[in-house]
Structure 1
């Protein structure tokens, strides 16, 4: 009798998870159930599985609404009917087609109209839904005459009184209103809960025809769908790249052998491996997956884009020969079975990175090449989070912004205990794990054989590419395997650097030739000393510290470092043990002979996912199937810990049979467990290491071009100021933006690095881009007046440019330029621009002598850019003290207490059982970097007070070549007073009065008020 059930996938409406809905139906004795979420099919595949677990017949449909008005309920007779509904919703979501009050002519769908939206004529498959509370309306003749077209409509939205109130909270959130202002139309009826079918039938006992119609629909509908069977390689992805499996294999074989010749020449071992891999690929019918990926990479190459093929795909020599990856699996002893084997049922997993600047071009190619009817992104459910829960629920209860901020930012135990806050807590807790909105998966693309709307309606998020209404886990369950198309800024930096080198120096660097940027001597020196700021993946304080502790001076060590830096390995203590063994290779014992035999390269430490699988199989005696479960557990997906626990009992039992003690087994499993969700496969680490080396090679030999590209790609781990500092340390001369020299992005002219207008955050982006474009067309600007004539800019924009020194080519002081701009723009109206400014000459004026303090420019830069350029932060301190020890001295001061003056670069918060802990990164007055540790006890008295320079007192700890300072005390050092504010009011008033008189004389009218022209007193000196 339940033709209209909602789950919480009816966003901000339903209150029941799919599992809870089905469980309640089972308890009530329901035999058939129809899930009809509002404008979505998100939950139907989970619903089918849950129903079948409880012996309930699942039926799928959609409740179609427009602007909160129920138009009709569409119930699929069979699976093809779901596709019909999906296409209607897709046309609305993606193409802007209106949802009509009358349903379109469906073929395999029953349509049920509410009683307030009955069309004049009803088709054979169309019915009228009648609720129990509407039975009293049957006295109307026009309704009584149509009972043959009526069915029982008993919607389900909640199950308890508390859930009903939760529904009201959700509706208030959706409508951005208070609970007290919700109307009856905004919320569901109080009767929309599961009740016994017998009681519903009893209510309709006078209308047997309505009961029969309802049962007829339930009996004629079904949800037959072929999930991907366990152990089957059949999936719903695009089957062939060409026209058949045979043609695909011919093409793949030809391409593989062509690539083999280019990569290896006549190498017998490589040829045998290619043969072996091609056979497995053919047997598993995965050739289309390889060829589609190859096709995308070929297009990328034709556009001159860089890409990185990483993940377990780099274990394949075929993918290496096809150019999908750049990691030689023979060199690193990467075994193909980790990527693909005859026991694997899902297609191989290629993760391909492009520059963030190029990714959309790649996506457009995929959608155009493979058809928009067959391509979509995976969706993902964005859940209500802690802050959003308290803000949204609190707003529904009418709390003011100040209280909402407190609720959202402070721990629950510190919240006020009043009645309203308790209600916010009560309903907020119920919302945990509730989906709040659908969004786009970061990188997962689906390419299907059949139209993708057969499986899901599509939505169009702001990013402009359609998404399916389910997530990657559902996609995998139903047999749609994703392609991962990712983006990153590191590749943009590398690509831009190569172009800049060619432009500035006329040198063409083939950065894709990894032989020039792998194990290069000077690069290895930089690695060993952690000089890697700006380099992909190896610039963070933690990574630079690890490189120094390892004295990392070769590619293989860098590959290992890329994996052991991951959180699980570090937290388990295995990273510390690896560092010890690397520095003391003769001073440790292997945990067990199996570890020595299989993990000798990494000193018996599990570093890669492959190592975990080796230990599980050779130490634990697990089967290949359980090994595959472990592989998934290592993947970082949200279900990884659950999958790991599935195999735990088998592991302990198997280890016992192998004769291992429980203590030894527990320790082995602890090491395995530390990897769950975090570890890299070796090929993934190798891919990262190659890109890191490419970055480092460019940094070593072309430092200015490299740092300019880092700045233009908006950096990585650090803020722009750090990369500007690094460019200065590399010999660059940093110049503030100039209207005659700068571009929108930062540019390099010889050793001069001109900061781009993009860094002036208060300047309108269109104006920032227009300045250089206009200069390219019509030459340099001759004066401030010429600039204003050519650029449609207001006084606020001109003021920003004046204060940053963008008109310094005129030779005039900022104060004088400011007055000149005011005189030119004071009565400016866009329609009178030419005449007002330039046909009426401005009278001569004479300013009093204006002097500027040395440091005014620095404070202007801090205000506009966020950091000083003309001076260092140390120059702006009141004290002349610069510390008793510098970074160059730290290695000689192990266990000694030192006092240092330093500028804060970054800090990382680490919660501990004893309280908050921080790691800090700093530069000293010489510009060198160092790191600090701040423990809870120290922070209680000597906490961070924002950015700036600090005096630090601490003890130097040298840990394997890497010094850190454990801070005991610290104090933020005061800056000199801002000289722009520091002048006597009387003198300031005299100057201001003189300016007023000059302006008044010029225009021969009363002087306007200061707020009209925006003349800032503090800028006049």
Structure 2
């Protein structure tokens, strides 16, 4: 009877979580429910699935609105009707055109319901057009209903669940309109009473109009959507048939096996055969071939890629060159990749350079048809900081107070606004706010995607489905992950720069040589990894130092134990202790030794969770994989997590394990099961780390230029310029005659790119380079004017940064002459076809050059200085300080050190106090790690970029040194008083 229900996927409007809507309907004895979110069917399959579980008949449709104006409700009679609704919504969303006043469908499988007050009664209705009545209309209804008794249905809207959520709804509307709550008008939000009620109460209200009740029941009975959940709906065949797919995959795998392992490697051939059989049995041939075809195209285009994910455990993937990880050498666990009970394909995360990925997307759309391909959607949700900001604005708080509230966890219960923010903020957590694009998921379906979802064109310009990965997985659309990362851009560009600058062509895929290179081992052991993919963050560098990591296998493990779950569970520390002292290894149970001896009794990889759940806890392999995913929250809402937990503990009791042992094993599994990596995934990361490290070790200047030009990495660009200078790069300020838009390198001379010059227009920067390439270098200021016609503001920027130093004139002289010439040109009409140098001459005084003025220009225009940053600090502040490399000499002692702030990582203690870990550079350019415990962090906060004098105590853990900050003050720049 309820034909117009909304959930929180009616963004900034509905307040029901889908599960809560269905639970409340079940409690009220409601037998049917129609989901009609605004201009979307985003959660329709989750809704349908949950309705079926509790015996409620689901009806799927949409409430169509043009901006805030209600148009009509559409209900699908069947799957053909749902396809028509999805196609209708997709067309108008993609074209960005208003919805028509009266929709036209080529099928009779869609009900169109207009509101009573919105509809002109004289208008002739079609066979599938109806008028919806709400209880509020009853007082106005008398004889009109007898005009056409077969055209009226009950259309009671359901938007919120109670009075409190009515307030939440109004707050959401104020957020959507970016206005104060008090400024909303009645037309901006839903009416009173848009809540569920007992079905009998709704029917009783319409007792005077039995024809309306019977017509409503007719509509309910006419609607029936079918969906077979968790069955593969991806493209079925890569070729024309399953047999051809199987034959092609076998051919490619066998050819690849010869290339990877030679002709007679029995172990490799047996595993290839085993995998091919299971891939065929599970129907995943096309999935593998689609990935292979995508990478074949990438290789033709010269795109570099890295394959990772659980699919990296596959020897077939290795033979198809999808990955570069040898599963035999690493003894990768086959069942993490595939097991006989698995319903979804293995995960392949295929990384490309951020510059290349869009070309891959476009190929997929063209190769398989735009009707069948889309990017996967996802939903941004309200989280604490954003909630506080939005509620603060809605309630009219000043920005300063909002900023303060965002940074605190302590609320003043005496302040009504803070009470409101706390109350409604708790209710808003996890509300979806809008649809966005998944990081790299692509869907390729056998049937047109509008069978399953609405699609639209976001700013990226590629069709995106109104469906997140959980909804897609639920119905059996399994995504292909096509991702981008800057690390691959670093490698690709570095290789090109090395070829251009040094004439050397490097095969970066010969990683076996890298694994045995002592220079690379030394770099990893000393954590000299700034700029290298995945191993450059302060936390990772500390871990490498604590492990004294110097080989590939240890780096593979490090790539996983750095993940949040392992670190936060305390198991990372145990792993380090056991790694250094095998006598400290204690296994919770003899069976745990069988399963985890390779990792010293610590669960490091996702495979470990699966193996322990299966072999220790007696859970089947497919259930163990579901449990692993449930631990990351994927299935918690469907109660699978709790059911598997109960089964695990019941099995362990049956096996006779001590309850405390079972509890601890479960704690370790749960603490990081959702955050750890598959071993093959970690191995892929480690391969890329070695590739980056090789380039950094042997071609550091080209490598850091590539890092800088990709604008990616853990640190800000200025710190990669710092590393470049440390590694012998002769860094030059931008120059009209040498710089390009991006930073370039010639020999060891590096010219900062125009892109870094703040305020310089991109169009003008490209014009400078294009004109120079076409007509040669610039001669003097007059030549610059003649050829570039710069605006005074743009020319002044170039002069201030020294880009016209080739003229031989100092900056102040150039500024005088440039501004004089600009003023003169403003008064002239350029009519001459020929260059002229006939200009008045005047004598200028000799200007003194000032190094501090130059440094300030660099800081203002680039955001950093290209030389020694410590030139900006008074030398007196460096008196009596120690250096970072001297910390071992002062273990446990209090010291003074001066550092340039790099970055910080904030965290919260178990007592809910805020603390942080800091990273600095000392006067010699060495890296320094600091710890700021809550009382000190509160008293001595970090105040942004610049220099800090730090007083603290030297700490050491596993040979890695840091400073516990006891007090701190920020130091000003040398030119602070002068300017």
The TM tier, using the shorter chain, reads: over 0.9
CA distance in 2, matches of 1:828, 1:27: 81
Q: Which residue of 1 aligns with 2:340?
A: 342
* Alpha carbons of structure 1 residues 195 and 920: separation in structure 2 relative to 1, 3 Å: closer
- Match 1:280 to one of 274, 278, 281: 278
Deviation of 1:618 (Å)? 3.4
Q: Which residue of 2 aligns with 1:90?
A: 90
CA distance in 2, matches of 1:833, 1:150: 76
Q: Which residue of 2 aligns with 1:988?
A: none
Q: Which residue of 2 aligns with 1:433?
A: 430
Q: Is the 8 A contact 1:632 1:640 kept in 2?
A: no
* Alpha carbons of structure 1 residues 160 and 911: separation in structure 2 relative to 1, 3 Å: closer
User: What is the alpha-carbon root mean square deviation over aligned residues?
Assistant: 2.7
Q: Is the 8 A contact 2:292 2:320 kept in 1?
A: yes
1:788 aligns with 2:785: yes
1:76 aligns with 2:76: yes
Deviation of 1:627 (Å)? 2.1
CA distance in 1, matches of 2:636, 2:804: 58
Q: Is the 8 A contact 1:351 1:486 kept in 2?
A: yes
> Which region of structure 1 is more displaced relative to structure 2, 5-14 or 596-605?
596-605
Q: Which residue of 2 aligns with 1:895?
A: 892
CA distance in 2, matches of 1:591, 1:219: 58
> Which region of structure 1 is more displaced relative to structure 2, 324-333 or 342-351?
342-351
Deviation of 1:549 (Å)? 1.9
- Partner-residue secondary structure (3-state), 1:879: helix
- Match 1:727 to one of 720, 724, 729: 724
- Match 1:270 to one of 268, 281, 286: 268
CA distance in 1, matches of 2:71, 2:778: 62
- Match 2:296 to one of 295, 298, 303: 298
- Partner-residue secondary structure (3-state), 1:855: helix
- Match 2:815 to one of 807, 814, 818: 818
Deviation of 1:339 (Å)? 0.3
* Alpha carbons of structure 1 residues 832 and 510: separation in structure 2 relative to 1, 3 Å: farther
1:669 aligns with 2:666: yes
Q: Which residue of 1 aligns with 2:134?
A: 131
CA distance in 2, matches of 1:516, 1:916: 45
Q: Which residue of 2 aligns with 1:224?
A: 226
* Alpha carbons of structure 1 residues 888 and 2: separation in structure 2 relative to 1, 3 Å: closer
Q: Which residue of 2 aligns with 1:950?
A: 948
* Alpha carbons of structure 1 residues 11 and 959: separation in structure 2 relative to 1, 3 Å: closer
**Which deviations, in whole Å up to 9, do the C-alpha atoms of 1:771-813 show, x marking residues without a partner?**
2122112211222332233335422222221111111111111
CA distance in 2, matches of 1:642, 1:54: 14
CA distance in 2, matches of 1:408, 1:936: 18
- Partner-residue secondary structure (3-state), 2:768: helix
**Which structure 2 residue ranges, 5 or more long, are not aligned?**
none
Deviation of 1:382 (Å)? 1.4
1:558 aligns with 2:560: no
> Which region of structure 1 is more displaced relative to structure 2, 553-562 or 585-594?
585-594
Deviation of 1:132 (Å)? 3.6
**Which deviations, in whole Å up to 9, do the C-alpha atoms of 1:343-378 show, x marking residues without a partner?**
111112111111111111111111111111111122
> Which region of structure 1 is more displaced relative to structure 2, 703-712 or 119-128?
119-128
> Which region of structure 1 is more displaced relative to structure 2, 703-712 or 464-473?
464-473
- Match 2:481 to one of 473, 478, 484: 484
1:20 aligns with 2:17: no
CA distance in 2, matches of 1:38, 1:241: 37
- Partner-residue secondary structure (3-state), 2:782: helix
Q: Is the 8 A contact 1:636 1:678 kept in 2?
A: no
Which runs of structure 2 are paired with 1:31-430 in the superposition (5 Å)?
Answer: 31-105=31-105, 106-115=107-116, 116-118=118-120, 120-135=123-138, 137-138=140-141, 144-228=146-230, 234-266=231-263, 267-411=265-409, 413-414=411-412, 417-430=414-427
Q: Is the 8 A contact 2:613 2:619 kept in 1?
A: yes
- Partner-residue secondary structure (3-state), 2:902: strand
Q: Is the 8 A contact 2:898 2:948 kept in 1?
A: yes
* Alpha carbons of structure 1 residues 278 and 724: separation in structure 2 relative to 1, 3 Å: same
* Alpha carbons of structure 1 residues 317 and 52: separation in structure 2 relative to 1, 3 Å: same
Q: Is the 8 A contact 1:873 1:948 kept in 2?
A: no
- Match 2:804 to one of 807, 826, 835: 807
CA distance in 1, matches of 2:938, 2:423: 34
> Which region of structure 1 is more displaced relative to structure 2, 904-913 or 700-709?
904-913
> Which region of structure 1 is more displaced relative to structure 2, 107-116 or 685-694?
107-116
Deviation of 1:759 (Å)? 1.0
TM-score by length of 1: 0.91
Q: Is the 8 A contact 2:309 2:681 kept in 1?
A: yes
- Match 2:468 to one of 462, 468, 471: 471
- Match 2:644 to one of 623, 644, 647: 647
Deviation of 1:589 (Å)? 4.4
**Which deviations, in whole Å up to 9, do the C-alpha atoms of 1:186-224 show, x marking residues without a partner?**
232324333344444444444333333222111211222
Q: Is the 8 A contact 2:412 2:418 kept in 1?
A: no
> Which region of structure 1 is more displaced relative to structure 2, 456-465 or 79-88?
456-465
* Alpha carbons of structure 1 residues 678 and 975: separation in structure 2 relative to 1, 3 Å: same
Deviation of 1:761 (Å)? 2.5
CA distance in 2, matches of 1:657, 1:206: 63
CA distance in 2, matches of 1:536, 1:885: 31
- Partner-residue secondary structure (3-state), 2:355: coil
Q: Which residue of 2 aligns with 1:681?
A: 678
- Partner-residue secondary structure (3-state), 1:151: strand
CA distance in 2, matches of 1:175, 1:323: 51
CA distance in 2, matches of 1:196, 1:633: 35
1:748 aligns with 2:745: yes
* Alpha carbons of structure 1 residues 429 and 917: separation in structure 2 relative to 1, 3 Å: closer
Deviation of 1:833 (Å)? 6.5
**Which structure 1 residue ranges, 5 or more long, are not aligned?**
229-233, 983-1017
* Alpha carbons of structure 1 residues 336 and 543: separation in structure 2 relative to 1, 3 Å: same
1:856 aligns with 2:856: no
CA distance in 2, matches of 1:96, 1:506: 51
Q: Which residue of 2 aligns with 1:1008?
A: none
Deviation of 1:765 (Å)? 2.1
CA distance in 2, matches of 1:756, 1:642: 55
CA distance in 1, matches of 2:302, 2:856: 43
Deviation of 1:436 (Å)? 1.4
